[in-house]
Amino acid sequence: MSDFSYAAPGDLFVATSMRRNGAVKYQRFDTAADALRYAIEKLEPAVLKGTVLEVDEDRYDAAAMRSLYDSADYPLPRAASAAG
């Protein structure tokens, strides 16, 4: 993930239901960093588990999002409550 662009637009697909035919909520963020902040800091862990981030046609699951958020390259301040 060394070529990940935190400045690129990010699309977040949040599973609002864990059922097979559950609804998915779509949100577009100006930057992937903002999308990561929202996903890690605002979503409940169970919801995050079914969430996917898409950046530059690449998709990232909850574990990858956590890794990107925890990276030293992450450009935004982190919330103290979001510590992994």
* Predicted confidence (pLDDT) per residue in 7-34, tens digit: 999 999 998 765 556 678 999 999 999 9
6 or 22: whose pLDDT is higher? 6
48: containing domain = 10-79
Question: Are 61 and 50 a contacting pair, CB within 8 Å?
Answer: no
Q: Is residue 29 situated within a structural domain? A: yes
Q: Is residue 53 situated within a structural domain? A: yes
Spatial CB neighbours of 36, under 8 Å, sequence gap ≥ 6: 6, 10, 53, 65, 68, 69, 74
Q: Is residue 56 situated within a structural domain? A: yes
Q: Which two tokens stand for residue 46?
A: 């169970």
Backbone phi and psi for residue 60, each to the nearest 5 degrees, phi listed first: -130, 130
Domains: count for the chain: 1
Residue 80 identity: A
1 has pLDDT over 60: no
